[in-house]
Amino acid sequence: MANQTYQTIYAELKKRILDGTYRVKMRLPIEDELINEFNASRYAVRKAISVLVEEGLVYSVKGRGVVILENNNAQSDEFNLSLGQAEGLQALNEHRSLTYATTVIGCDLKLVDHTIQDKTGFANGLPVYEVIRLRKVNGKNAVLNISYFNAQIVVNLTKEIAQQSIYNYLQERLGVKIAIIKRQLKIESTTALDDQYLDLELNNCIGNMISIGFNDSGKHFEYTESHFIPGQFAFTQLIKY
């Protein structure tokens, strides 16, 4: 393996944890061993481990290394989402054999009115891109993302860019440094858009993960609502004492 990204390292380590590769010692190999095995940077290895910690699979103990928590084989069949990690649905579930598809329903430049202001916190009259994307997982319309991006920071946003990764565009093309993402989780009644696009079956409610993004100057650049269908997603947060 050469120059592995933290996502690849994370996926491989998670696979090994779940299939019992490390069951005897109940620890991950030390950091330097993982760096050599994956030919990766120390940052990539530490980032991969931090995602495993966030999912409640391992715990770092001073003087003992990274300990694997028992009962990891009791992982549910639900898709993983995280309030504490910026990674998207696909990155957090890449160890699974899943199919993903994104449909961009709309990518329109608008001026913030009182309705958008009340929802997003953006100033009235600010130009924003309203982006609506449907995420299909294993053939099921599972997540509806409704986003507003500050058009003074996220410039020249197009439907083609939205089809790929807006965050990659922000960081790699525009040089925007993402500093903080605040997240909230709510359970809400369905909207007309949810009823139109999501595979809700008999459900009349959705989970709503709200993400509010700020750059390193403290400027608010994003407000996103991710509406997801019930019974398909699980949030895991490790509480440390």
**Mean pLDDT value of segment 101-109:** 96
60-101 pLDDT, tens per residue? 888 888 998 876 554 545 555 555 555 555 554 554 556 789
Report the C-alpha gap between 58 and 44 in whole angstroms: 16
* Maximum Cα–Cα distance across the chain: 61
Please report the pLDDT score of residue 74 as a whole number: 47
How many helices (H) and strands (E) the chain has is answered by: 8, 10
With a pLDDT cut of 70, the percent of the chain lying above it is: 84
Please report the pLDDT score of residue 43 as a whole number: 93
Please report the pLDDT score of residue 203 as a whole number: 93
Mean per-residue pLDDT over the chain, rounded? 86
Spatial CB neighbours of 197, under 8 Å, sequence gap ≥ 6: 105, 134, 141, 144
185-239 pLDDT, tens per residue? 899 999 999 999 999 999 999 999 999 999 999 999 999 999 999 877 766 666 6
pTM for the whole structure: 0.71
Q: Is 137 exposed, middle or buried (0-12, 13-18, 19+ CB in 10 A)?
A: buried
Please report the pLDDT score of residue 63 as a whole number: 81
Confidence of residue 7 (pLDDT cuts 50, 70, 90): confident
**Mean pLDDT value of segment 3-28:** 87
Confidence of residue 162 (pLDDT cuts 50, 70, 90): very high
- 113 - beta bridge partners? none
Q: What angle do CA 205, 211, 212 make, to 5 degrees?
A: 140
Report the C-alpha gap between 226 and 96 in whole angstroms: 21
pLDDT tops 50 at residue 138: yes
46-56 pLDDT, tens per residue? 999 988 887 77
The secondary structure of residue 72, as a DSSP letter, is G
Residue 68 burial (CB count, 10 A):
21
> Sign of the CA dihedral 226, 122, 154, 109?
positive
Please report the pLDDT score of residue 1 as a whole number: 47
Report the C-alpha gap between 73 and 55 in whole angstroms: 13
Confidence of residue 24 (pLDDT cuts 50, 70, 90): confident
